[in-house]
Amino acid sequence: MRFSPSFLDEIRDRVPISDVVGKRVTWDRRKTNVSRGDFWACCPFHGEKSPSFHCEDRKGRYHCFGCGVSGDHFRFLTDLEGLSFPEAVQQIADMAGVAMPQPDLQAERREKERTSLLDVMELATQFFQDQLQTAIGAKARAYLRERGLTGRTIETFRLGYAPDSRNALKEFLAGKGVGKEQIEACGLVVHGPDVPVSYDRFRDRIVFPILSAREKVIAFGGRAMSADAPAKYLNSNETELFHKGNVLFNFARARRASQGADGAGTIIAVEGYMDVIALHQAGIENAVAPLGTALTENQLDLLWKMTPQPVLCFDGDGAGIRAANRAADLALPHLKPGRSVRFAMLPDGKDPDDLVRHDGREPFDKVLANARSLADMVWMREVQGGEFDTPEKRAELEARLRQVTSVVADESVRRHYGQDMRDRLNAFLQGSAPFRNERRPFERGGRERGGLRGAGGPRNAAGPTTISDRLARSSLVSGQQAAPSLRESVLALTIVNHPQLLFDEYDEISTIEFDHRDLQRCWAAVLNAAAANGPRLTREGLVEQLEAEGFGALIGALDQQIRYARLWTATTAAAPEDAREGYLQALALHKRTKALNWQRRELERELAHATEESDLEIVPQLLRTLQEVQFEVTRLENQEAIIEGFGVLSGRVKGPAAR
């Protein structure tokens, strides 16, 4: 029995290949990464003691690096168990819950018709490509050159031009022996009972071929050359070949690029054809686009088949924010362990094409590096611009967050989202307006955290009393909360003294998490002030607002701590470019330290697990790695200690203030 490619694709897509292979092998716990769909085992085709058999859900393929066997779902069953191909198809179809197709003459006829329609679409593609290179395509070629596209890029994406004629394509296809019914079935002409004579759908437009997952042309998108055209962009209508909500532009090419040599890439979803093409030309080949509409559920499933965490890239304007929020709502019910989305927000008024056209990929890479998690997007949407100055409003916020997270179908993910939102809510409300006039216990005695007095703190007759920052952060100072680390103080105070940095680097800066509890609350107030005032925010205005919310003493303590350490780039005296440089250095150290501490905790957890399981082979390697990480953590701590003691220990500073 002959099976249609569409049926085989459907059942392959529904069943992860690991489900097929996993019934015949035991996955290696150390090398397997379930969240990424990356599995390793001893090869079932030849005897071995160390796992060299690799299985990837995203690719739907297996490969043994020992004996060289490789294949897909069906090949695994036919080669390992000796099943015939129809028997292997039957087994996969049963796992997928899909009925086997019955011998159907009509279905076979439709499959042949689909094949012939694909041939017609290929002819149309060649026609549009040829027209772009003729005299009538000169204006379209000029437009593409203005957009910065090279001849190689135009050829790669097979861009073409539809002449400003009602029947140019129709007559070309008729001359090739293509019948009227086939031309209409491909959606290449406008026809119907109320249309006396059919005419070309695409006229005076740059044409973008849209390919299927098997890289066959199934539809076209057209960009109007005339400013008077009713629609700037026009897609093919729904046909036997093309269902718009199930297709992503550049899907097949992006899937290959995302898998790459190590299979660790992601997929970026942008808004339009030109964005995808411009990114490809800049070296970012793993981008796709929905076809002129909001992302659909089926398109999101396509993204997840390629990568566990695609990046959705939207414009930074109001429409882009609304589109991002719609995408967040679309994704939430379908989250699973290891499967989510991230959001990269472009600068207001810019699209990917703008970013890469003049400066290459670096500006866009920076946008991607600052991509936010889905949890961040949900939180920001619910709190942005709101006032929570009454118990009722705070209760309403809590209820909204509970309702938003309740739609997550997976019980484990839903539980963790609920906890994450509760943690954010508690931290947010502790630093919000209703509590701004409360006196903290450590303020009543006139001493700020760690014994440091701020600019507004009381002084005794003997003058300011100061203790070292390292002592202030130690447990020797009992009864007081430890002061922030110098690194965290630099990060916070630099932004307070130079708030313009916050808007230049907002996506990355706004995601900083401080270990110090009160500094984290202060940071929430800084972000709220930035959201309320925008780029108009000045240092004076920010400090005034922070003081009004009860953070004046903290800011004063941070200032004294910074001046004592002589880190002048965090002070008001620093030029903007110097402040930025110092800030970025501190941020890199902060991120590196957090990453190392996370790695240390994970290694300690793995070591404990290996010990409990008596997995003694892996223990020495884990211990060595843990020692290396611990050494690096200690090195960074010592580096920070040297910075803290600079000036004081070297004798360059007399007195603690060092002004």
Q: Are residues 610 and 482 in the same domain?
A: yes
Domain enclosing residue 28, as ranges: 5-96
Tell me which of 44, 79, 96 is where a domain ends. 96
Strand segments, DSSP code E, in 20-118 are: 38-41, 53-56, 61-64, 70-71
Q: Report the number of distinct structural domains present in the chain.
A: 4
Whether residue 440 is contained in a domain is answered as no
* Residue 124: inside a domain: yes
3-state DSSP assignment of residue 528: helix
Question: Which residue would you say has higher pLDDT here, 523 or 421?
Answer: 421
Q: Which helix (H) or strand (E) holds 224?
A: strand 217-224
Query: Are 505 and 568 found together in one domain?
Result: yes
In a domain, 134, yes or no: yes
Side-by-side strand order, sheet with 61-64: 38-41, 53-56, 61-64, 70-71
Give the pLDDT confidence of 484-532 residue by residue, as tens digits. Answer: 788 888 888 898 999 888 777 666 676 677 878 888 888 888 887 877 7
pLDDT for 539 beyond 70: yes
Q: What's the pLDDT tens digit per position in 361-383? A: 888 998 998 899 999 999 989 98
The residue among 274, 266, 267, 258 whose CA lies nearest residue 153 is 274
Find the CATH number of the domain harbouring 123: 3.90.980.10
Q: What are phi and psi of 330, to 5 degrees?
A: -65, -40
Task: Give domain status of residue 146, yes or no.
Answer: yes
| For the chain, percent of residues with pLDDT exceeding 90 | 34
Identify any residues that bridge with 585 across adjacent strands, giving them in sequence order: none
Q: Does one domain contain both 398 and 542?
A: no
265 and 396 share one domain: yes
pLDDT of 643 > 50? The answer is: no
Q: Is residue 280 part of a domain?
A: yes
Same domain, 416 and 492: no
Question: pLDDT tens digit string along 587-632?
Answer: 777 777 777 777 777 777 777 777 766 666 677 777 777 777 777 7
Helix axes of 374-383 and 411-430: crossing angle, nearest 10 degrees: 40
User: Where does the pLDDT of residue 2 fall: very low under 50, low under 70, confident under 90, or very high at 90 and above?
Assistant: low
Q: Are residues 477 and 518 in the same domain?
A: yes
Q: What is the CATH number of the domain that holds 269?
A: 3.40.1360.10
Q: Is residue 500 part of a domain?
A: yes
Q: Does 545 lie in the same domain as 506?
A: yes
Query: DSSP states of 161-208 as a string?
Result: EE-S-SSHHHHHHHHTT--HHHHHHTT-EE-STT-SS-EES--SEEEE
Whether 277 and 393 map to the same domain: the answer is yes
Q: How much is the pLDDT for 657? A: 37
Domain co-membership, 414 together with 368: yes
CATH assignment of the domain containing 37: 3.90.580.10
Residue 15, CB-side half-sphere exposure with 13 Å CA sphere: 26
Residues 510 and 585 in one domain: yes
For residue 444, name the pLDDT band (cuts at 50, 70, 90).
very low
446 assigned to some structural domain = no
Position 247 scores a pLDDT of 93
pLDDT computed for residue 635 by the predictor = 66
Task: Please indicate, yes or no, if residue 388 is contained in any of the structural domains.
Answer: yes
Question: Which of 414, 397, 396 is closest to 405 using CA atoms?
Answer: 414
Q: Provide the percentage of residues in the chain whose pLDDT is more than 70.
A: 83
What is the predicted pLDDT for the residue at 512? Answer: 78
Placement of tokens 């203790």 in the chain: 467
59 with 127, same domain: the answer is no
Are 499 and 644 in the same domain? yes
Q: Which residues contact 15 (CB under 8 A, 6 or more apart)?
A: 73, 92, 95, 96
Domain finish residue from 96, 131, 159: 96
Q: Between 142 and 103, whose confidence is greater?
A: 142
Domain end, chosen from 45, 80, 96, is at 96
How far is Cα 600 from Cα 585, in angstroms, rounded to an integer?
23
**Least confident span in 82-91, 180-189, 219-228, 271-280:** 82-91
Residue 53 DSSP symbol: E
